[in-house]
Amino acid sequence: MAKCSVIARNKKRVAMCASFTAKRKSLKEIIYDKNLPLAQRYEAVKALNELPRNSSAVRIRNRCSITGRPRGVYRRFALCRNKIRELSGQCLLPGLVKSSW
């Protein structure tokens, strides 16, 4: 089980990313538009740099929704490999069957 503070920090990043997504997208459109004057694009870069770091999507870490484990997480289930094996053995994951031969 991961520390509660680390899990809470990641949840805070997810919420902050969701709230700033539209603003980041609009600023990036201005920055990448080559038809706009350079001064206006520079102002957009400055505005983007002033946004909180944790509002960026790349700072979000995929974590297991049960244990909070940061590694070995399958996006499809949002679970770590250990929990997938445990839950599939108990037939609690729909669409997943543990093979045996």
In the prediction, which pLDDT does 62 show? 95
| Domains of the chain and CATH, by start | 1-61 (1.10.287.1480), 63-100 (4.10.830.10)
pLDDT band with cut points at 50, 70 and 90 for residue 51: very high
What backbone torsions phi and psi does residue 59 show, to the nearest 5 degrees?
-85, -5
Mean local confidence (pLDDT), 45-54: 96
pLDDT band with cut points at 50, 70 and 90 for residue 36: very high
- State the chain's mean pLDDT as an integer: 93
Instruction: Enter the pTM of the model.
Output: 0.80
Question: What is the C-alpha separation between 60 and 12, in angstroms, rounded?
Answer: 9
